[in-house]
Amino acid sequence: MKKKKIQEEVYNVEFEHEQAAFTEDMFTFVERDESAAEKMYAPSISYWQDAWRRLKKNKVAMASMIFIILLAVLAIVAPMVSPYSHATLDYAAMNQSPSAEHWFGTDNLGRDMWARVWMGARVSLFIAFVAALVQSTVGIIIGGISGFFGGKVDMFLMRLSDIVDSIPLLVYVILIMMIMGSGMAPIIIAFALTGWIRMARLVRGQALSLKESDYVMAAKGLGGSNMRIIISHMVPNMLGVIIVTLTMSIPTAIFTEAYLSDIDIGLQPPLTSWGLLANEGAAVIKTYPYQLIIPALFISITMLSMQLFGDGLRDALDPKLRK
């Protein structure tokens, strides 16, 4: 007890000494500012800025995006700077293996494979991007109208999509080629006639949920036209789903074009594409395997990059993952 009493006396002496060390001159009063209570010191970022921030953290998606950009640039530039034309025949250089002169070798007519691969990339990517853009635009319009108006309009458009979806793509391609002949236009039109269905159904589902939201009801109450509400209020809130679906439809178009060329109803010479190159290389795979391996690798890596980038984009645009 005596020891405890001594410790308390020592503590009281130290406390009094500390109090004596502080004076009123050492303190200043801070006025209360109610406006500062609601001030946000952390920087606010928009939905798209946050999506870009999350996309940059996905190294695989960023690497895929860089590859796709480089591929598109080379598809435009490489045929222009190549010393050989993709259509020039050289019977003295037929079926040469890859070398310093011909980086990807030559085909059975002596044409430079480097120039043909990049010209094929230009054609294949052009068909894929244009077809994806056209079918997405058609799908957004039909799906938006179907989901927004509902009722008989929705039933008619959805039954129409079921009918269109029941007919194979191959039938559309053959019928259109009988009318228009071979070329890029018939393939793009065939893709557009069938590829819009998936986009339309996704947009319809989004529209059915968005049309009951408060801001859409407020726009209706203020007298906004139906088309203005769809374009200004509903489509911007569907952009995440639309962009991801558009990205995923590009590799599908690349593969489908390659498949059509493989069964000899796609593009015809002098046009060339990755699918046409793979089809020609398959005929000589036992003797000159590089003529199939090179275009097949470009098709595979491009489709994989598109899929990986689409997956990363889907995660980045998902509002549930926003922090």
Q: Tens of pLDDT along 223-239?
A: 777 777 777 777 777 77
At 187-236, the pLDDT tens digits run 888 888 888 888 888 888 888 888 777 777 887 777 777 777 777 777 77
- Count of C-beta atoms within a 10 Å radius of residue 24: 6
**44 falls within a domain:** no
Cis bond leading into 270, ω under 30°?
Answer: yes
Gap between the terminal Cα atoms of the chain: 58
Give the tens place of pLDDT for each residue, 5-36: 555 665 565 555 555 555 666 667 666 655 55
Q: Could you tell me if residue 46 is inside a domain?
A: no
Q: Is residue 22 part of a domain?
A: no
Alpha helix (H) residue ranges in the chain: 2-21, 34-37, 47-57, 59-81, 113-149, 151-165, 169-180, 184-210, 214-221, 226-229, 239-262, 274-282, 290-317
Report how many domains make up the chain: 1
Residue 239 within a domain: yes
Domain membership flag for residue 182: yes
Residue 153 has pLDDT above 70, yes or no: yes
Q: Is the pLDDT of residue 254 over 60?
A: yes
In a domain, 33, yes or no: no
Give a yes or no: residue 233 inside a domain: yes
User: Which residue in 68, 90, 28, 122 sits closest to 303, CA to CA?
Assistant: 68
Tens digits of residue pLDDT in 263-291: 777 777 777 888 888 888 888 888 888 88
Check residue 67 and give its pLDDT. Answer: 92
CATH label of the domain that carries residue 122 = 1.10.3720.10
The 10s digit of each residue's pLDDT in 64-119 is 999 999 999 998 898 888 888 777 787 787 888 888 888 888 888 888 888 888 98
Residue 147, in any domain of the structure: yes
Q: Which domain holds residue 200?
A: 68-82+101-321
Amino acid identity, position 144: G
Burial 52-84 (b: 16+ CB within 10 A, else e): eebbeebeebeebbebbeebeeebeebbeebeb
More confident residue, 162 or 319: 162
